[in-house]
A and B are shown apart, each in its own frame.
Chain A
Amino acid sequence: MPSLATKLGTLDLATPFLAASGTFGYGSEYAPIVDLKNLGAVVTKSLSVQPREGNPTPRIWETPAGMLNAIGLENCGLDVFLAKKVPDLAKLPTKVLVNVVGHSVQEYAEICKRLDGVEAVDGFEINISCPNVKHGTRFASDAADCARLFGAVRPTTKKLLMAKLSPNVTDIGEIARAAVEHGADALSLINTLLGMAIDVKTRKPRIANVTGGLSGPAVRPVAVRCVYQAAQACPKTPVCGIGGIRCLDDALEFFLAGACCVQVGTINYADPDLLNRLPGQLDAWLKANGHENISEIVGKVAI
């Protein structure tokens, strides 16, 4: 559907619908249900240099119209990723963005460097915003640290670099500008909102990590606001909107706020087939509203 073709920096995406990191594995897990040709890209589970076993359980708690999670970046690490995940990623009929995490600037840079020559990888989502690990949001909450990170990562790769921003900051526009000025090609937002829930009977936190990241429809208004502010701050940079999308209208809000594409995340757990339905629904909506391409509505909120 030509109406859905969208550009994310240098990447041509078939549709503006991506699967968000941590909700879609490595793309093939939902293959029995989701036709990956309906996606613009799959964003992989976060990848670190060393393998990570993640946090103790319980790791999730359902909240009104959302969920808290503190998985703790459980992942197989770079060596196993290259040996066991990349061959399968190469077969996916969609683009692949690798979500990258690190304890240090050097770790982010090492992953991008080692994956720069890997054809199956189309770009990187630099995750500077995980709230569930120590110092997970440092690079997303301090503009100078954010600038330093992208300054170090940019020279390691020619592939797309997308900065995944945290909503847990005072001025998201400032962080967005720091990332873009130091080499980010695109922005994705939001990561989860830091939250907490307590069992009043036992007086214990609902998740073992005590605090966790809130996602799902509950966070969508915060996400739309953040996308609007980031798009205003960086008008020439493509923005990928993330946060509680569970139907076409939700995605349209993000497009109007300034996102050229969106990631569908938490709702994949409940309704993975949504990713099959959204492209047709958007195409029909664009036609019904006299638009030839999605780009015609990006940032067109009437203010």
Chain B
Amino acid sequence: MNSAAHETNCFVQTSAETIEQRAVSARYWQLRLRAPEIARRARPGQFVMLSVQPDALSSDAACDPLLPRPLALLDADPKAGSIELLYFVAGRGTALLQSHAARPGTRLRILGPLGNGFTVVDGAEVHVAVGGGSGVAPLVYFFRKASFGNAPRTVILAARTKEHLADRACVEVPGADLREATDDGSAGFRGNAVEALRALLDGPLKGKRTAVYAAGPEPMMDAAAKLSIERGLPCRVSLEARMACGVGVCRSCVVDAKTPHPATGLFRRTICQDGPVFDPCELKEG
């Protein structure tokens, strides 16, 4: 392995300084951190483990909550030495992060970048991203940074209502057709992400060899994968799970594959290290 490749496969632990936190919808927070070593190594689809307590806290105060939270990267700027995360308050940890930890100047412990990240499916004529919830970040990062040649790209971002969609500036993907879908029809397509995908595949993309990349709530990803497989289209999903370590050692975030892992002989895969991006055809259903 040459040294450049080695560096891209390496993660670091660092103390990242909060630059800015901004509400980008009724639901999402965009968090920008100074973390040059992570920004330099990061690839689209990777994530970080972020502590939800300021570094400055004493050991006693910092041990509750104890575990860092896995958050997908929304962007990384190696020149500026900064990374961006997009998250919503899902529980006690992210609530603490939002209300106390993520203030400009605050330093947060961070481990990353982690996971395999997205790669462009070879031979596809069209590339479609389908995202909702916390799946928006990795897809937007991927569609912004990856090289798709001249192939047309569409990004479907779904939410319950218009208020829950992240603002355009935060999720803009130059060169891609950005489509919104809301359950109540208050913005864009009326319906969920997979219904929007189906409409696209049955309409403008009918007959095209389309690669589908899905990330977000599990039912959405399952349905997107199922639809893609039914149509014979290549698909990649970015999975999420509770995890403690982020580097493959705690074995919390496992899913089952159809074939044994070359290194362990087990059917288990860790979402953190073997993933988070998988070809759903390689995983067992359910």
Contact = CB atoms under 8 A, between A and B. Distances in A.
Interface string B237-273: 0000111111111111111000000011111100000
Contacts of A59: 251-252, 254
B12 A25 contact: no
Given A65-B64, A80-B264, A272-B111, A32 B12 contact: yes
16 contacts: A30-B249, A33-B13, A57-B253, A59-B251, A60-B243, A62-B67, A66-B66, A71-B252, A80-B264, A80-B265, A84-B263, A84-B264, A266-B66, A268-B249, A270-B67, A272-B13
A302 B66 CA distance: 31
Contacts of B67: 62, 67, 269-270
Contacts of A250: 59
A247 B13 CA distance: 17
A273 B37 CA distance: 15
A54 B250 contact: no
Given A65-B66, A67-B66, A84-B263, A45 B10 contact: no
Contact of A269 (B10, B12, B68, B266): B68
Interface of B: 10-13, 51, 59, 63-68, 93, 109, 111, 241-255, 263-268
A24 interface: yes
Name A's interface SS: loop
Interface string A266-282: 11111111000000000
Interface of A: 22-25, 29-30, 32-33, 45, 51, 53-54, 57-62, 64-67, 69, 71, 74-77, 80, 84, 216-217, 246-247, 249-250, 266-273
B246 to A, nearest CB: 8
Nearest to A216: B66
Given A61-B242, A273-B13, 13 more contacts: A23-B245, A33-B11, A60-B250, A62-B67, A62-B93, A65-B66, A74-B251, A74-B266, A74-B268, A84-B264, A246-B59, A268-B245, A272-B13
